[in-house]
Amino acid sequence: MSGFLLNRLSQSVVLLVIVSIIGFTVLNLMPGGPLAQFGLDPGMTQKDVERLATQLGLNRPLWIQYLDWAWRLLQGDWGHSFRDGSSVLAVIGRHLLATLLLMGTSTAFAIAVGAWIGIRGATHRYSLFDYCATVGAMVALSVPTFWFGLIGIYIFTLKLGWVPAGNMYTIGDGSVLDYLHHLILPSLVLSLVHVAIWSRYMRTATLDALSQDFVKTARAKGVSERRILLKHVVGNALLPMITLAGMQLPSILTGALVTETVFTWPGMGRLFLDSLGYSDYPVVMGLLIFSAILVVLGNLIADIIIATVDPRIRLG
Percent of the chain surpassing pLDDT 90: 14
pLDDT in tens, 161-179: 898 888 888 877 778 888 8
Is 281 a member of any domain?
no
CATH number at residue 139: 1.10.3720.10
Share above pLDDT 70 across residues of the chain, in percent, rounded to a whole number: 86
Dist CA 222 CA 234 (whole Å): 19
Split into its structural domains, the chain has a count of: 2
| Residue 314: predicted pLDDT | 52
Under a CB-based contact definition with an 8 Å cutoff, are residues 264 and 214 in contact? no
Between 97 and 59, residue with greater pLDDT: 97
State whether 267 and 229 are in the same domain: yes
Of the pLDDT bands very low, low, confident and very high (cuts 50, 70, 90), residue 155 is: very high
Return the axis-axis angle of helices 128-142 and 176-210, rounded to nearest 10°: 120
The residue count for the chain: 316
Q: Mark whether 123 and 179 lie in a shared domain.
A: yes
Residues 220 and 104 both lie in one domain: yes
* Cβ-based neighbours of 293, under 8 Å, separated by 6 or more: 16
Of 239, 210, 124, the residue nearest 219 (C-alpha): 210
Tell me the pLDDT tens digit for each residue of 168-227. 888 777 788 888 889 999 999 988 888 998 899 899 888 888 888 888 888 888 888 888
Instruction: From 50, 75, 100, give the residue that closes a domain.
Output: 75
Which residues, 6+ apart, have CB-to-CB distance to 12 below 8 Å? 296, 297, 299, 300
- Structure letter (DSSP) for residue 280: -
Same domain? For 146 and 261 the reply is: yes
Shared-domain flag, residues 96 and 65 = no
Residue 237 lies in a domain: yes
Q: What is the pLDDT of residue 127?
A: 92
Structure confidence at residue 311 as a pLDDT band (50, 70, 90)? low
Would you list the DSSP string of 43-92?
Answer: T--HHHHHHHHHHHTTTS-HHHHHHHHHHHHHTT---B-TTT--BHHHHH
Where in the sequence is the domain holding 129, given as residue range(s)? 92-275
Q: What confidence score (pLDDT) does residue 279 get?
A: 79
Res 84: pLDDT: 81
Q: Is 306 within a domain?
A: no
SS3 assignment, position 80? strand
The verdict on residue 286 lying in a domain is: no
